[in-house]
Amino acid sequence: MNVLLAVLWKDLLSEWRSRDRAVAMLLFSLLVVVIFHFSLPPASPDEARTLAPGLLWVATVFAALLGLGRAFALELENDALSGLALAPADRGWIFLGKALANAVLIFAVQLVTAAALGLAFDVPLAEHAGRLAALLALGALGLAGAGTLFGAVAVRTRFRELVLPLLLLPLLVPVVVAGVRATATLLETGALAVEPLRLLLVTDAVFWIGSYVLFEFVLDE
């Protein structure tokens, strides 16, 4: 637990001081919203509600990929990954600290992106702020769970900016499908649908448990 808290605090403090990943992710996601706003034809309120869930999760996934690709950049310098591997603790705790820090960063970007999307497309996301925030948090956990593991896999490869999306995007299909369906239902009915929410919870659990177990072998490589 001490290792988890130390890694979490280190990552959040480093990001707060530099803000390089946060700024890059925010700018990217906001640019995606702006591009969609000017490239799509004018839509009625009903059409905007139909488009908004897909646009929100597309912007979220690609912004997350941008940030996850840099998740181990600091550890790569001065061979700090070897230091993490030699830490006198279960390496799964290191994964949990890194993944939670990534989830916090992704969730913050999601909230800003959702607010910008609601303004750009005149979608009343604020009316469902609490349920939407809970849904986005589950999505952030799924993205961070798988993304942290594969970020550690890709960081030592030559073409890590290409390898990470190729490895990660196929695995994120359940997260995106569940997120889009749950968001669409939320905008239509004001409630969270059970089936996509269940899929999201199961996917998150599989990602976090599997990554916790496999992270030890990833650090060895």
Give the tens place of pLDDT for each residue, 104-157.
999 999 999 999 888 888 887 888 888 999 999 999 999 999 988 888 888 777
Provide the pLDDT for residue 84. Answer: 64
For residue 194, count CB atoms less than 10 angstroms from its CB and return exposed for 0-12, middle for 13-18, buried for 19 or more. exposed
Q: Which of 19, 6, 210 is CA-nearest to residue 98? A: 6
Domain containing 198 equals 2-220
Q: What's the pLDDT band for 22 if we cut at 50, 70, 90?
A: confident
CA distances from 1 to 89, 141, 163, 208 (A): 9, 19, 31, 16
Does pLDDT of 204 surpass 90?
yes
Of the listed ranges 14-18, 20-24, 163-167, 203-207, the one predicted with least confidence: 14-18
CA dist., res. 17 & res. 72, Å (int): 16
Can you tell me whether residue 157 is helix, strand or coil?
coil
Give the percent of the chain with pLDDT over 90: 29
Q: How many domains does the chain have?
A: 1
Q: Output the pTM of the full model.
A: 0.89
52-93 pLDDT, tens digit each = 888 899 999 999 988 887 777 766 666 666 666 666 667 778
